[in-house]
Structure formats: structure tokens, C-alpha cells
Amino acid sequence: MPTYNIGRPKFVAHEGSVMLYGTGVQIDWATVTADGNGVKKMLSGTLLHIDPTTQLAQAADTGGTPDAPASAILVSDVSDTPGQNKGFHGAYVGGVFYENLMATPPTAGDKTALGSRFVFQVYADSRLD
């Protein structure tokens, strides 16, 4: 009997629904904590706050000081390694997403901050039941 690798689905529920932030965002690497190997990373599906003054993106934090409400979602994994750290990275500013597959699932406060351009659903798969 063949085996199938159905893989993990993407957090984007409908590819045709997404809206992107211009040509992308630059990450404010000073706000990102390094892992055990000293590499700073952000995972796809991370909620982002885009600072209106600097236009730099950081992980959203509605409970932090200063308040950094979510305004976008990171498209793909990024790290501060040479070649990636200064570039522009894709950010969704609208679309339909599976909240339970995101790196940082949105809270009720995040959903309010993101507004009506974002629709969140819960992913479920019954193929293995």
C-alpha cells in the first residue's frame, strides 16, 4: 500500500484573497531576540507591527510598551543572516487565513487591530479520521 505525505497546509486559506504591503517591509532586527545559535529569526505567519514613523516591522505586541498593534502578517521565514537582513520581506495586509496554522495566532485584540481586511478561519482536516 502506498504511503502519502499530505504535509502541513499553509496558513493562507485563499491565495487569491491576499493583499501585499507594497514591495515589502524591512525588519527592525534590534527588536528580535536571537536563538541559541545567535541567529535572529522570524517565522512566516508572525503578526507584524509596521512602525508608521520608521516603516520598520517588528513582531506585534498589543500588551507592550509602547503599544505595537498588529498591522500585517509576515509571508515567509526570515533571519538576520547576510543577504536577508537588509532586504525587503513580504507582508500581507489583508486576506483569508487559518489562524491556528500561523506562527502567532491572532488574539481578539489583534483581530480588532487588523480590521476587516483580514478574515480568520480555523483549519480542520478530516482525511485522517
* CA–CA gap between residue 20 and residue 89 (Å, rounded): 10
- Is the CB of residue 42 less than 8 Å from the CB of residue 13? no
Q: CATH number for 12-121: choose from 1.10.274.10, 3.30.1490.20, 3.40.50.1010, 2.40.300.10.
A: 2.40.300.10
Provide the residue type at 73 as one letter: I
Provide the residue type at 21 as one letter: Y
* pTM, two decimal places: 0.86
| Of residues 39, 2, 21, 10, the one with CA closest to residue 98 | 10
- Could you report the per-residue pLDDT of 54-87, keeping only the tens digit for each? 999 999 986 666 678 999 999 999 998 876 667 8
* CA–CA gap between residue 102 and residue 53 (Å, rounded): 27
What are the boundaries of each domain within the chain? Answer: 12-121
* CA–CA gap between residue 44 and residue 97 (Å, rounded): 12
Strands 91-98 and 118-121, bridge-based pairing: parallel
One pLDDT digit (tens) per residue for the chain, 129 residues: 565 555 667 999 999 999 999 999 999 999 999 999 898 999 999 999 999 899 999 999 866 666 789 999 999 999 988 766 678 999 999 999 999 999 989 999 999 999 999 999 999 877 655
- Cβ count within 10 A of residue 112: 12
